[in-house]
Amino acid sequence: MSNAVSALNSASFEGFATVTETGLRGMITLRGDLSSAKLKAAVKAATGAAIPDVRRVTTGKDGMAAWMSPDELLILCDYASVNDTIATLTAKLTGEHALAVNVSDARAVFRIAGDGAREVLAKLAPVDLSAGAFQAGDFRRSRIAQVAAAFWLNDDNSFELVCFRSVAQYVFDVLKVSAQPGGEVGFL
């Protein structure tokens, strides 16, 4: 574990919003029947979170659950506890057709914070990011410029964004261009 480093080692940029790579995060792709009681109980046991509605994210005491598709959740937890979380999920899902797989190292996570955060993302993702349309707990699987990404809005009005690790530098760079001083749009 001591050898583990995140994609950009917590790089940060201060523009009209702040962009930070947040370091390693536990992430699990969970595929299964989202309406099943067993899966619901498994997610609850592993994270404390409820099954999220479409395009939403839920938070529990040990992690979060994000809606990725009609049969897929993204489970978020501490990097150190990801194996335990998978073990809990797998144990609780015994006998159920499901897949829980560790994707923590396949991803990078960014936080976009500050008053301009919505506009930084709105330059790169074809998503209605106005305050009325995108609220705390909303989650969107979309793209950032030319690559796939997913993001959600936290209660503190900061966004967190997940992308593939191989394109972490690209995503950080486009977020920097997007957040360059003087680039405020004044629309959102």
Partner 1 sequence: MSTRLATGGRLLNKGKQLNFTFNGKQLTGFEGDTLASALLANDQMMMGRSFKYHRPRGVVASGAEEPNALMNMGKGGKFEPNQRATTTELFDGLTCASQNHWPSLEFDVGAVNNYMTRFFPAGFYYKTFMFPKFAWKHVFEPIVRQSAGLGQVPKDRDVDTYEHFYAYVDIAVIGGGVAGLQAAKAAALSGAKVLLMEQTAHWGGRAATDGGEVDGKPVADYIADLVAELDAMDNVTMRTRMMGSGVYDHGYVLGYERVNDHTPGNDGPRHRLWRIRAKQIVTATGAIERPLSFAGNDIPGVMLAAAIRDYAADYGVSIGDRTVVVTNNDDAYRTAILLKNAGLEVPVILDARAGGGGALAEEARALGIRIENGKGIAKVKGGKRVTSVAICSQAGEGAVLEEIQCDAVAMSGGWSPVVHLWSHCGGKLTWDDAQAHFRPDATRAPTNQDGIGFVVPAGSANGEMDLAAILNDAHDAGKAASKAAGFNATRKAAPKADAQAEAAMEPVWLMPQGAGPKLRIKAWLDFQNDVKVSDVRLAAQEGYESVEHTKRYTTLGMATDQGKLSNINGLATLAGQLNAPIPAVGTTTFRPPYTPISFGAIAGEARDEVFQPLRRTTIHGYHEDVNAFYEPVGQWRRPYTFPRKGESHADAVKREILQTRDSVGLLDASTLGKIIVKGPDAGKFLDMLYTNMMSNLKPGKCRYGLMCSENGFLSDDGVVARIDEDTFLCHTTTGGAERIHGWMEDWLQCEWWDWKVYTANVTEQYAQVAVVGPNARKVIEKLGGDMDVSKEGLAFMEWKDGKIGDFDARAYRISFSGELSYEIAVPASQGRAFWDALMEAGAEFNIMPYGTEALHVMRAEKGFIMIGDETDGTIIPQDLGLNWAISKKKEDFLGKRAQLRSHMADPNRWKLVGLKTVDGSVIPDGSYAIAAGSNANGQRNTQGRVTSTYYSPTLDCGIAMGLVHNGPDRMGEVIEFNKVDGSTVKAEIVNPVFYDMDGEKQNV
Q: Least separation, in Å, of the C-beta of 183 and partner 1?
A: 5
Q: Least separation, in Å, of the C-beta of 78 and partner 1?
A: 14
* Mask for 33-72, x = binds partner 1 (CB under 8 A): --------------------------------------x-
Compute the distance between CA of residue 126 and CA of residue 144 in angstroms, rounded to an integer: 8
**Which range binds partner 1 by CB under 8 A, 34-42, 44-52, 56-64, 93-101?**
93-101
CA distances from 80 to 4, 22, 25, 164 (A): 11, 15, 8, 20
Regarding 89 and contact with partner 1 (CB under 8 A), the answer is no
Regarding 160 and contact with partner 1 (CB under 8 A), the answer is no
Q: Which is nearer to partner 1, 57 or 82 (CB)?
A: 82
Q: What are 24's two structure tokens?
A: 């390693």
Residue 114 CB neighbours (<10 A):
18
The secondary structure of 41-88 as a DSSP string is HHHHHHHSPPPPPTTBEEEETTEEEEEEETTEEEEEE-GGGHHHHHHH
Q: Hey, which residues between 128 and 147 contact partner 1 (CB under 8 A)? A: 128-130, 133, 145-147
